Amino acid sequence: MKNFLEALLFLTTIPIPKKIKLEFSPDKIRAYFPIVGLFLGLIVASFDFFMSQIFQVSTTSWLDVIMFVFLTGALHLDGLADTADGIFSHRSMEDMLKIMKDSRIGTMGVLAIVGVLGIKYFGIKGIDNNRFLIITLIPAYSRTSMVIAMKFLGYCREQGTAKGFFASNVKLKEFIPFAFIIFISLYLGKDCFLLNSVFFISTFLIIFYYKKTLGCITGDTLGCMCEVIESILFLVLS
């Protein structure tokens, strides 16, 4: 339970009671990323349900996007912007990593954020059947993609916020929570195959791209991956 709460505290802005003493152990909490994503999705799906009783689907969908940003503290959007600035600078790997480290946001970072939020909005807006379940599941899938990337790629920097996640190799048993997520996705019917096939194809294509471009990953590229996968899945399932 403490590992789950640590993961929740790291990935979201959801407050944890101060009386609960937590010790940040990155390599122990990564297995709980899918469960945190499921919890996050459940909150937004519930929010979507109640807002849809008041507003039209277009307004509700935009409020959902804002809720995702609020609940995550724009953690992954920051990684998206930094990664876009670095990778699309088309410079050497060393220069790309330096650009990603810069706290300032560039043109490509702004365009990436606008593009991803726009895709996510139109994706959520277009979801009709199984809307509650889809909004609940997709954040779990997007956060699982980060764990998969940790298994297949190493960490780029000698020091960094995400370095602790690479203190030990990702074991297959750490994907047991994700197996539970896949089981839930069976309730989507024919959309289950679409969701899972697009997820795995997109995830490994991004991992391949990171491997080819940087040869490794950083916390920023993991955040970028989370946002991109989430946007793709919402768009495809719409």
Answer whether 124's CB lies under 8 Å from 238's CB. Answer: yes
Assess contact for 4 and 38: CB atoms under 8 A.
no
Which sign does the torsion angle of CA 141, 101, 112, 91 carry? negative
Identify the CA nearest to 214 among candidates 86, 85, 79: 86
Q: What is the pTM of this model?
A: 0.94
Q: Is 221 exposed, middle or buried (0-12, 13-18, 19+ CB in 10 A)?
A: buried
- Paired with 155 in beta bridges are 217
More confident residue, 15 or 138: 138
Residues 48-75, mean pLDDT to the nearest whole number: 96
Q: What is the pLDDT of residue 19?
A: 76
Q: Where are the domains of the chain?
A: 2-237
- Residue 217 pairs in a beta bridge with 155
pLDDT, the chain, mean: 92
